[in-house]
């Protein structure tokens, strides 16, 4: 091999190495988003782009998902060109869960929603006004979104979720040119962890500063309430859930609902359980443990004590039922019957906590009126 050819190869190798070195240097993050409670996502900031990672997109997920949010595409390293790239700030979005709606409202981006499956579920007054004015397209049932109408809308992205890891429908969307972003807020165990997903949504609108401000206000209020009953020795006992079929479903001990009840100064009878999802128990097992529970909070769609007793007369044996200390969280419903608790509750755990404290300790928070909850009669 000639000296000239060797020199050319040497220069080429040096050039490649310098290019790789420069790319590595350019890819060093300027900032990593510091999260206080949420564990399911991460955001790294770079010059001209940011990398958003959903660490656990669904229960028992073996892989994470990454999205490249671009404000200046020329700054994105070649190594990331094949990743899911989204130009930000986005100008339009389709959401698939009512829990996404308050995120838009609180960021001042209500007008960016252009499609949603079964819009009747939405309770937000601001969003219902847009729906009534024809600005939000009803895309059918969540599990079978009308892809033709979705493509016709041409949104910048769709914010989705999956319970069991089925990504098939989202693959179809992406093949048709609609980026599908997974939101896994529901997997967070701490109530403030779910609320902190506001920062996840904010990244797509370049509104991180606003998200910080809103979240800090919610966190501050939550912690103020938390301190009220921190040293309470005698705590009222709590039962939750109802029977579906032959199974009594109730929050596990690590479920965020359990955390809220205990943070309110209650003694949730299954708090020592290690389950983060929902327990599936027999009626008899619950009867034996919770017959004398002081309060029964969370009774699904039941709206009266009579309806509960008619469903199963054994319910009337519980002390909480006899003493009329049974509470539903569905006090507020949207214009079409959607649950405001199921929509807004993830973002506003401070409101839930205030309700629970008011229920368990009626003399506390004299100015607070129950927001999501009401006592059944």
Confidence of residue 88 (pLDDT cuts 50, 70, 90): very high
Percent of the chain topping pLDDT 90: 80
**CB proximity list for 97: less than 8 A, separation 6 or greater:** 159, 161, 183
Confidence of residue 364 (pLDDT cuts 50, 70, 90): very high
Q: Is the same domain home to 97 and 193?
A: yes
Q: Is the same domain home to 69 and 88?
A: yes
- Beta-bridge partners for 180: 158
Give domain status of residue 21, yes or no: no
Give domain status of residue 184, yes or no: yes
**pLDDT tens sequence across 172-207:** 898 899 999 999 999 999 999 999 999 999 999 999
Q: Is the same domain home to 348 and 216?
A: no
* Per-chain mean pLDDT for the chain: 91
Q: Is the same domain home to 371 and 319?
A: yes
Q: Is the same domain home to 177 and 247?
A: no
Q: Is the same domain home to 62 and 192?
A: yes
Q: Is the same domain home to 53 and 96?
A: yes
> Any idea which residue has 């109408």 for tokens?
149
Most confident of 16-30, 269-283, 342-356: 342-356
pLDDT at 325 over 80: yes
Q: Is the same domain home to 247 and 211?
A: no
Give domain status of residue 332, yes or no: yes
Q: What is the mean pLDDT of residues 80-105?
A: 95
3-state secondary structure 311-324: HCHHHHHCHHHHCC
What pLDDT score does 2 carry? 42
Q: Is the same domain home to 157 and 237?
A: no
Give domain status of residue 16, yes or no: no
Number of structural domains in the chain? 2
- 10 Å Cβ neighbour count for 254? 16
330 vs 22: CA distance, rounded Å: 56
Please state which of the ranges 82-86, 257-261, 284-288, 309-313 shows the lowest mean pLDDT.
82-86
Peptide bond into 89 cis (omega under 30): yes
Max Cα–Cα distance, the chain, nearest Å = 98
Pick the last residue of a domain from 221, 254, 275. Answer: 221
Residue 75 domain boundaries? 26-221
What pLDDT score does 99 carry? 98
In eight-state DSSP terms, residue 336 is T
Give domain status of residue 226, yes or no: no
Task: Please give the angle made by the CA atoms of 59, 60 and 65, to the nearest 5 degrees.
Answer: 80
Give domain status of residue 82, yes or no: yes
- Does the pTM exceed 0.85? yes
Give domain status of residue 279, yes or no: yes
Distances (CA, A) of 269 to 51, 76, 294, 315, 367: 42, 52, 10, 17, 29
Pick the last residue of a domain from 221, 254, 278. Answer: 221
165 vs 97: CA distance, rounded Å: 16
Q: Is the same domain home to 236 and 215?
A: no
Question: For residue 183, what is the domain's CATH number?
Answer: 3.40.50.1980
Where b means 16+ CB within 10 Å and e means fewer, 68-102 reads bbbeeeeebeeebeeebebbbbbeebbbbbbbbbb
Q: Is the same domain home to 104 and 188?
A: yes
**pLDDT tens sequence across 247-269:** 999 999 999 999 999 999 999 99
Give domain status of residue 14, yes or no: no
What pLDDT score does 44 carry? 97
Residues present in the chain in total: 377
Q: Is the same domain home to 193 and 329?
A: no
What pLDDT score does 73 carry? 86
Cα distance from N-terminal residue to C-terminal residue, the chain: 94
Confidence of residue 167 (pLDDT cuts 50, 70, 90): confident
- Beta-bridge partners for 65: 54
What pLDDT score does 213 carry? 98
282 vs 352: CA distance, rounded Å: 28
pLDDT at 166 over 90: no
Contact 156, 179 (CB under 8 A): yes
Pseudo-torsion of CA 211, 213, 214, 215, nearest 10°? 80
Higher pLDDT, 21 or 354: 354
Pick the last residue of a domain from 197, 221, 245. Answer: 221
**CB proximity list for 43: less than 8 A, separation 6 or greater:** 32, 33, 50, 51, 52, 53, 199, 200, 203
Which pair of structure tokens corresponds to residue 200? 């996840």
Which pair of structure tokens corresponds to residue 220? 């501050």
């Amino acid at each position: 091999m000639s000296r000239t050819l060797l020199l050319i190869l040497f220069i080429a190798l040096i050039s490649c190495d310098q290019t790789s070195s420069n790319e590595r240097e350019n890819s060093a993050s300027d900032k990593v988003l510091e999260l206080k409670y949420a564990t399911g996502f991460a955001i790294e900031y770079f010059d001209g782009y940011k990398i958003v990672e959903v660490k656990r997109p669904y229960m028992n997920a073996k892989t994470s998902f990454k999205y490249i949010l671009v404000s200046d595409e020329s700054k994105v390293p070649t190594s990331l060109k094949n990743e899911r790239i989204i130009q930000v700030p986005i100008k339009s979005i389709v959401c698939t869960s009512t829990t996404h709606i308050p995120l838009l409202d609180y960021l001042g981006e209500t007008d960016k929603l252009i499609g949603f499956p079964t819009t009747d579920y939405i309770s937000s007054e601001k969003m219902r006004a847009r729906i009534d004015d024809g600005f939000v397209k009803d895309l059918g049932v969540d599990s079978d979104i009308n892809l033709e109408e979705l493509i016709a809308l041409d949104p910048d992205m769709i914010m989705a979720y999956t319970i069991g890891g089925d990504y098939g429908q989202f693959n179809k969307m992406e093949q048709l040119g609609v980026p599908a972003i997974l939101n896994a807020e529901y997997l967070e165990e701490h109530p403030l962890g779910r609320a902190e997903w506001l920062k996840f949504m904010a990244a797509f609108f370049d509104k991180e500063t606003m998200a910080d401000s809103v979240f800090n206000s919610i966190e501050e209020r939550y912690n103020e309430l938390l301190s009220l009953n921190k040293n309470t020795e005698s705590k009222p006992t709590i039962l939750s859930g109802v029977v579906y079929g032959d199974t009594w479903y109730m929050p596990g001990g690590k479920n965020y609902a359990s955390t809220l009840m205990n943070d309110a100064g209650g003694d949730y009878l299954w708090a020592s359980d290690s389950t983060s999802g929902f327990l599936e128990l027999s009626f008899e097992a619950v009867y034996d443990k919770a017959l004398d529970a002081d309060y029964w909070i969370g009774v699904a769609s039941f709206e009266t004590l009579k309806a509960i007793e008619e469903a199963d007369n054994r319910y009337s044996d519980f002390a909480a039922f006899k003493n009329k200390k049974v509470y539903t969280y569905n006090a507020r419903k949207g214009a079409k019957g959607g649950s405001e608790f199921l929509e807004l509750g993830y973002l506003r755990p401070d409101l839930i906590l205030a309700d629970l404290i008011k229920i368990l300790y009626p003399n506390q928070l004299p100015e607070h009126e129950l927001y999501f909850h009401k006592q059944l009669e």
